[in-house]
Chain A
Amino acid sequence: MSADPAGGESADEADPTVEMAEQAARDEPDLDRGLIEAWAAKMISNPDRAYRATFYVATIFFLVTTLFPFYWLLVVALTPRNNLSEVGVFLPAGFNPAAFIEIFQTLPFHRYVFNSFLIATIATVAVLLVGSLAGYVFGRLRFRGRNVLLLLVLVTSFFPPAAFFIPLNRLFNTNIDVLRPLISAGSLYNTPYAIFIPLSAIFLPLSIFILMTFYSQIPDGLEDAARVEGTTRLGALFRVIVPLSAPGVATAGVLTFISVYNEYFFSSLMTDGQPGSWAPMLEGILRFQGEFEVLYNLMAAASIVAVLPVAILVVVAQEKIVSGLTTGAVKE
């Protein structure tokens, strides 16, 4: 069965070369082929080379388009302020690493990054917690109206976030007496809640969907065993189902964290931009653009610093995701 196609393939591989050479000789006996034509003929006769070449071209293309902007950010960051108009494509016009220190001196940029980091962490924890409960219900329980409810949850994620902005902004600017003991002004504007509440809600449906698919694949027997051994349903969820779904939880967590950390729209509108008002990292970067001058080198340096936490998180989490996926697969 397997021997035949292999034999046929090798025959196919050999045949076209001969055939094509013969045909070429027959049709155009004296044609002196150009460089490109010769190359094309070679590729046709040996498709493996063509595939490999395409792979490298595509990979290099993607690497360049994704990594070059970062490199150029570094180039801009290292260019001294006076030479910003002469910044090159590949090399900085001068060398000024002090920009990376200056960003913390000009503004409390670390506070902005901390704000973002905290908001993203709280949002991730909240999304994973609520998403786990919802994922358990949608993935493991059968009840009337399950599909309708799931569809409703998913539909909310189809709306553009901007649609929610005006009502939310009005709401967050309203003074609510009940909140006064918790928040001095009584309104959510200028608090971290103003960013993490809407963002958690917007990114929750995706996490529910991811977690639901993972949780539904854990065999019923394991949950039953945990319950007989002494856990409640919730205990079984967090002691057995969640650890066994580690790759899914990591995926949902990383996606949420990155989305919230990088979010622009709500982040830029839900606070007044002061670091003390829990303005996120994004506001910090925009603050380097003054009334008379835009400090591109500082903005670039700040952008690089802001990317670092996410980059580290992704590298660490990706290792976890890969290890989670392979532990099951290697030994069976």
Chain B
Amino acid sequence: MASVNLEGITKRYEDVTAVDDMTLDIEDGEFVTFVGPSGCGKSTTMETIAGLTLPTEGTIEIGGRDVTDLPPKDRGISMVFQNIALFPHMDVYDNISFGLRLRKYDQEEVDRRVEEAADIVQLEGMMDRMPKEMSGGQRQRVAIARAIVRNPDAFLMDEPLANLDAELRVHMRTQLQRLHRELDTTIIYVTHDQAQAMTMSDRIAVINSGVLQQVAPPLECYNEPANLFVAGFIGSPAMNFIQGEVVDDGFVSTYANVDFDPATQNVTAGQEITIGIRPEDIYLAENTEKAASPTKAFDAVVDVIEPVGKEINAYLLFDRDVEASAEGRGEGQLLINLAPDTDIAEGDDIQIVMDRENVHLFDRASGDAVTHSLE
């Protein structure tokens, strides 16, 4: 058990900067998830913590000890890999005990620890199986047992659930949380799946293009995203964005105007800003009372509806002339969540209101959030 501290970590390859000046303090026993789109540098960051890659600049401390120049084996960490990476020529016992045997523990101690680890991940009676005789979930549990058997200071998990099927993934997700509660060890977890990040972590570190965007508990990232990237990445379905400009009495754009006093919201007239609003914070005008502080009503046309059971996702166009973008939600398009019993059909003309308490403003030039509520 130990804290992990990154100080100014930068990793440059010949022509790309994979990780750019990352500073992050992870507390003892914390479950921190690195999340971001593929190629954002989250795996590289983890590899520098593991020692598999040396950072170009910066220092790494694990448990207060500077490990920047130590090889992986001396860092007191263990790792679970995306492709599971069990040694195919060794049986389960040999796989789990590999690290202990390398460290010359005596046989009794090895046996005791392997049994304990196998017990935690429920692998009893499979000690002499070969990896290729096991299912994906079993292999994953062996990999986890191999990681916990050495009582490391910190676990590093690099997309450990990516290769499992959907059902097993959800199951292993809860298993991992239970494991974290039981072991109370620092866990650093890498995923591109924001759902995994949201559900498991104490804190999320959102990374894009090698730059740390926000480090905060999941709900804070969701409710108070630090910038446009975090706002768009965290949450599924993603937040709606409307681009416009600040005027003397609020916000104007091609399709929607929202009134507010620029002075109280730290914006100035003429500033280019983007409004962000989550699908669940938009209501039909007839349900205005549900919004804590409704805006005035906007006209919209229903483009596509997706009933998903507990709710309906409705894709709207502000105007019949708006052409639906093929790449994600474009300008003039809007997604809202409706109650499953809403009487609505594609092509309907409807009126909607936004909840002013949950309207986010972002400065478009910097991308940074300005405010998370207009009230």
Provide the residues of chain B in CB contact with A240, threshold 8 Å: 87, 89
Provide the residues of chain A in CB contact with B51, threshold 8 Å: 227-228
Q: How far is the CB of B143 from chain A (nearest CB, A)?
A: 8
B132 within 8 A of A: yes
Residue of B nearest to A144 (CB): B14
Give A230 to B87 CA distance when docked, in angstroms: 14
Provide the residues of chain A in CB contact with B78, threshold 8 Å: 228-229
Flag if A230 contacts B103 (CB, 8 Å).
Answer: yes
Flag if A224 contacts B89 (CB, 8 Å).
Answer: no
Q: How far is the CB of A146 from chain B (nearest CB, A)?
A: 14
Provide the residues of chain B in CB contact with A232, threshold 8 Å: 71, 73
Q: Quick one: which of B81-114 are within 8 Å of A by CB?
A: 81-89, 98-99, 102-103
Provide the residues of chain B in CB contact with A331, threshold 8 Å: 132-133
Interface size class of A (residues with CB under 8 A): 10 to 19
Q: Quick one: which of A104-140 are within 8 Å of B by CB?
A: none
A37 within 8 A of B: no
A231 within 8 A of B: yes
Flag if B89 contacts A244 (CB, 8 Å).
Answer: yes
A21 within 8 A of B: no
Give A240 to B79 CA distance when docked, in angstroms: 17
- The verdict on A229 contacting B81 (CB below 8 Å), with A224-B52, A244-B89, A331-B133 known, is no
Provide the residues of chain A in CB contact with B133, threshold 8 Å: 331
Provide the residues of chain A in CB contact with B89, threshold 8 Å: 240, 243-244
A332 within 8 A of B: yes
Give A240 to B88 CA distance when docked, in angstroms: 9
Provide the residues of chain B in CB contact with A221, threshold 8 Å: 81-85
A226 within 8 A of B: yes
Flag if A224 contacts B81 (CB, 8 Å).
Answer: yes
Residue of B nearest to A227 (CB): B72
Residue of B nearest to A221 (CB): B85
B203 within 8 A of A: no
Provide the residues of chain A in CB contact with B79, threshold 8 Å: 224-225, 228
Flag if A230 contacts B52 (CB, 8 Å).
Answer: no
Q: Quick one: which of A129-177 are within 8 Å of B by CB?
A: none
Flag if B102 contacts A231 (CB, 8 Å).
Answer: yes
A222 within 8 A of B: yes
Q: How far is the CB of A21 from chain B (nearest CB, A)?
A: 55
Flag if A332 contacts B83 (CB, 8 Å).
Answer: no
Q: How far is the CB of A300 from chain B (nearest CB, A)?
A: 44
Flag if A219 contacts B85 (CB, 8 Å).
Answer: yes
Give A230 to B47 CA distance when docked, in angstroms: 15
Contact among B50, B73, B83 with A230 in the assembled complex (CB-CB below 8 Å): B73
Flag if B132 contacts A229 (CB, 8 Å).
Answer: no
Flag if B102 contacts A244 (CB, 8 Å).
Answer: no
B146 within 8 A of A: yes
Flag if A229 contacts B82 (CB, 8 Å).
Answer: no
Flag if A244 contacts B88 (CB, 8 Å).
Answer: yes
Flag if A225 contacts B50 (CB, 8 Å).
Answer: no
B118 within 8 A of A: no
Give A219 to B86 CA distance when docked, in angstroms: 11
Flag if A231 contacts B73 (CB, 8 Å).
Answer: yes
Give A71 to B71 CA distance when docked, in angstroms: 59
Give A240 to B73 CA distance when docked, in angstroms: 15
Provide the residues of chain B in CB contact with A244, threshold 8 Å: 87-89
B77 within 8 A of A: yes
- The verdict on A222 contacting B87 (CB below 8 Å), with A227-B72, A227-B73, A228-B78 known, is yes
Q: Quick one: which of A198-232 are within 8 Å of B by CB?
A: 219, 221-222, 224-232
Flag if B73 contacts A332 (CB, 8 Å).
Answer: no
Provide the residues of chain A in CB contact with B84, threshold 8 Å: 221
Give A332 to B146 CA distance when docked, in angstroms: 22
- The verdict on A229 contacting B52 (CB below 8 Å), with A224-B85, A331-B132 known, is no
Provide the residues of chain A in CB contact with B82, threshold 8 Å: 221
Give A222 to B88 CA distance when docked, in angstroms: 9
Flag if A225 contacts B87 (CB, 8 Å).
Answer: yes
Flag if B102 contacts A332 (CB, 8 Å).
Answer: no
Residue of B nearest to A229 (CB): B99
Give A225 to B73 CA distance when docked, in angstroms: 10
Provide the residues of chain A in CB contact with B47, threshold 8 Å: 224
Flag if A219 contacts B83 (CB, 8 Å).
Answer: yes
Q: How far is the CB of A144 from chain B (nearest CB, A)?
A: 9
Provide the residues of chain B in CB contact with A328, threshold 8 Å: 88, 132
Provide the residues of chain B in CB contact with A231, threshold 8 Å: 73, 102
Provide the residues of chain A in CB contact with B103, threshold 8 Å: 230
Residue of A nearest to B89 (CB): A243
Give A224 to B77 CA distance when docked, in angstroms: 12
Give A255 to B35 CA distance when docked, in angstroms: 50
Flag if A229 contacts B71 (CB, 8 Å).
Answer: no
Provide the residues of chain A in CB contact with B81, threshold 8 Å: 221, 224-225
Q: How far is the CB of A330 from chain B (nearest CB, A)?
A: 9
Contact among B52, B77, B85, B132 with A332 in the assembled complex (CB-CB below 8 Å): B132
Contact among A225, A230, A235, A243 with B85 in the assembled complex (CB-CB below 8 Å): A225
Provide the residues of chain A in CB contact with B146, threshold 8 Å: 229
Q: Quick one: which of B47-75 are within 8 Å of A by CB?
A: 47, 50-52, 71-73
Q: Interface centre among A221, A222, A224, A226, by most B CB within 10 Å?
A: A224
Give A229 to B132 CA distance when docked, in angstroms: 20
Provide the residues of chain A in CB contact with B88, threshold 8 Å: 222, 244, 328
Residue of B nearest to A331 (CB): B132
Q: Quick one: which of A232-284 are within 8 Å of B by CB?
A: 232, 235, 240, 243-244
Flag if A230 contacts B102 (CB, 8 Å).
Answer: yes
Provide the residues of chain A in CB contact with B87, threshold 8 Å: 222, 225-226, 240, 244
What are 17 A-B contacts with C-beta separation under 8 Å?
Answer: A219-B85, A221-B84, A222-B88, A224-B52, A224-B79, A224-B85, A225-B85, A225-B86, A226-B87, A228-B72, A228-B79, A229-B73, A229-B150, A244-B89, A328-B132, A331-B132, A332-B132
Give me the interface of A with B, judged by CB distance under 8 Å: 219, 221-222, 224-232, 235, 240, 243-244, 328, 331-332
The 4 A-B residue pairs with the shortest CB-CB distance in the complex, in nearest-first order: A221-B85, A230-B102, A229-B99, A225-B85
Known: A224-B85, A228-B50, A244-B87. 5 other contacts (CB 8 A): A219-B83, A221-B84, A229-B146, A232-B73, A331-B133
